Chains A and B, each alone.
Chain A
Amino acid sequence: MRLTRPKVLGITFLVLGILLSLYSAARIDPAQRTTLGVGTLGTRDVPAQASLVLIGLITSLSGILALFDRLRRALAPTLVTVALLDMLALMIWAARGSSVDLVGMLAASLRMATPIALGSLAGIWCERSGVINIGIEGMMLAAAAFGFAVNLYLSQWLGPRAIWIGLLAAVLTGGLMAFFHAVLSIRFKTDQIISGTAINILAVGASGFLRRAYLVKAYFVGEILPIVNVPLLADIPILGAIFFQNRPIVYMMLILVVLTNFILFFTAWGLRTRAVGEHPLAADTVGIDVFKTRYVNVVIGGLMAGLAGGWFSLETVGSFEDLMTGGKGFIALAAMIFGNWTPYGAFMGALLFGFAEALEIKLQILDAPIPHQFLTMVPYFATMVVLAGLIGRTVPPAADGRPYEKQ
């Protein structure tokens, strides 16, 4: 029997599930219950031990199915779902004898996943057309700084409405940085990793300079984008609280995930983009303008990275701090790879990272006996697992990172 990736994963999940069931059966007081907050539906009590044993069995079952190759295309979604269930188990365990607000936590996960998802969309747009973009972090940071600065400056005259122009400025800043990257990597055929690194360093310097030279004097804590409840949908139990009672950039992210998927796989432009990313010479011979396609895609990606930057300074906090993007641009790339360069997959990856972050906070609040520094590591550890190719086989676009030389 050849040891393929699904089999390795299958064995891992099987062992994990058995351990979980055995541990819960042996060590958890059967009388203990966990109260789960489920939004407007109030709370639900679950018996801690029974739930954990059940989740352990489900985990083992998914492991067995993966081991015998029964999942095929459903492999990644199934394992992600099971992994989420295991995280739920972690919470039931941590909050046994007490309560935890489940819906609130899922809503927080979605919020925290937003910049990651947008960043991974930026990556998909670029890399599907064959340009590697590791400068997403820098584009986000510069956009956060410049968008906030514009908001600060214009709010003298426009008041709270200035924030929308600030958001536009953030988006355009991302686009501009991406154009810079595009010129370097398409026109001048610079090594794309170096160009991306330059953008990251440039953004740290430029945003730090902007803040010290101008923002520091203004002392300003700004408005943030308002919460918008989607009519009717916001009242759906559970889902309403998670998806439809958010601030604008979260909605934009959700729409852009769907839109990106549609454009990439169901339009002529998407077909051309993928052709350019897989085999630019073949695309060129059928009359597709490789350079133009790449330019446009990289800039569109930059606009999305800019929107992600706006999430930090304009939607969430209302101020700008140096390095406030905190590595989310790199996590976004991991989410993109996790999702195998597809929008929905990347969105799932982003959700996982967002959930891990929310979990880190929640487990501390529940006083779980796990060092919080270890929890801080979880998203990064997950990135390594993903990068090591343990989940599914990731196939980057064939021409990713290779400049096209017109023959």
Chain B
Amino acid sequence: MNLSLLILLPLLTALLILLSKNLAQIRVIGLAGSLAQLGAAGWLLKLFMDQRAAGNTATYLFETNTVWFKALNINYHIGIDGIALAMILLSALVVVAGILVSWTMEKLSKEYFFLLVLLSMGAYGFFISLDLFTLFFFLEVAVIPKFLLIGIWGSGKKENSAMKLALMLMAGSALVFVGLMGIYYNTHSFDMVQIGQMGISLGVQKFFFPFLFLGFGIFAALFPFHTWVPDGHASAPTAASMFLAGISMKLGGYGCLRMAALMPDAAHSYSWIIILLATIAIIYGAFATMMQTDLKYINAYSSISHCGFVILGIGMLNKTSINGAVIQMVSHGLMTALFFAAIGMIYSRTHTRMVAQLGGLLKVMPFISTVFVIAGLCSLGLPGFSGFVAEMTVFMGAWQNPDGVYRIATVISAASIVVTAVYILRATGKTIMGPISDEHALLGDATWNEKFAAGLLIVGILIIGLAPFLINQLIMPATDFLMINIDKAITLK
């Protein structure tokens, strides 16, 4: 299968949306387009597993390499390994769910769906890129739709949040750009595969790794550059929140992981800083969530904490921890999207997101409340859901690191789960249990599209939670390849 299909499908959908005449058409095209993406992603999964089963051990499958800017040695080089494929599947699921929950969006609906689809295109392009320039290109493609989505359709102090998000992400990509220049002028290539084989000299790695890691880290809400996350997520319309937390933040995590594999020596020597920042993010995110009274802020701050686990897993630089980081990315993507979807459903009915003003929702909206509980339980890492598998794997990997400081970081991070349990249980308890206020007593439950959206995400969460070997089977070969590169650095020392 030609991977460019993953870019062309959204592009085609976006163009058709522009040409469509009324809301009904826009919705149908949007849904059909996103389902086609999901279908393509699923088909890709099947082909990928077939290839692997047939004994194809190449690092990247479905590779295509076309010259783009010949003079500058920029190539349109695409290909996927298991990690990228996991991200693509996650994106496809979240996109369908996002389109479904925006079914009732009527304000400037054409522009809205157009931007949503454009955002998903950026994400797919990012995940399939093997060329650093195209990677960077798609990373930035995804920024503008976010700005417009939050600024136009958002709520609260939306303009400020949109501006803050856009500027911080652009600052992140500015840092990434400087790092890319450093790599380019030392290796004369943008090709990740090629650079990985050639290796980068130690001095260059040490100088430019911080640029790249921090740059991508801003996208992944790395402490102390996480400040765009709460405002951005809270102000965004539901589907945009889902895309932001479910897909966009994963661009950062994925980028960090690739950079660590590309510059393993630097990653090793800076790993203590990475782990320190990740631990702070985990603890800080968890405690900050405790103080929140707005459901969206609760989820946004908890995202900082959860994305901290991704960075922690990457920083530990061993096979299990990196596996954990990848699973955590997928799991967090699904779980957060589900959480935001549930919050959006509640908000569209009650017109409030303040925990204090809600209560007893289980009585009137059993489906939405159940979804809410599932998202919450997944977030606090209950066995059976994906969150448990992911966090468990990260901790197991982290514990393998015998160094004392790393052990302490692991213990502290693991302890944060208790805090998570506190805020999740408190928020769910207050929102769905207890007496219901009169004005909420007559509200209805989820509509078909909302049920479908939530169902999709829950299925994803349960598959990872109940049959973790499936996702392990998918990503394990990819992490093996990454580890070859990363371990090479250790042996060199």
Tell me whether A and B are bound partners.
no
Binding site for A on B (CB under 8 A): none
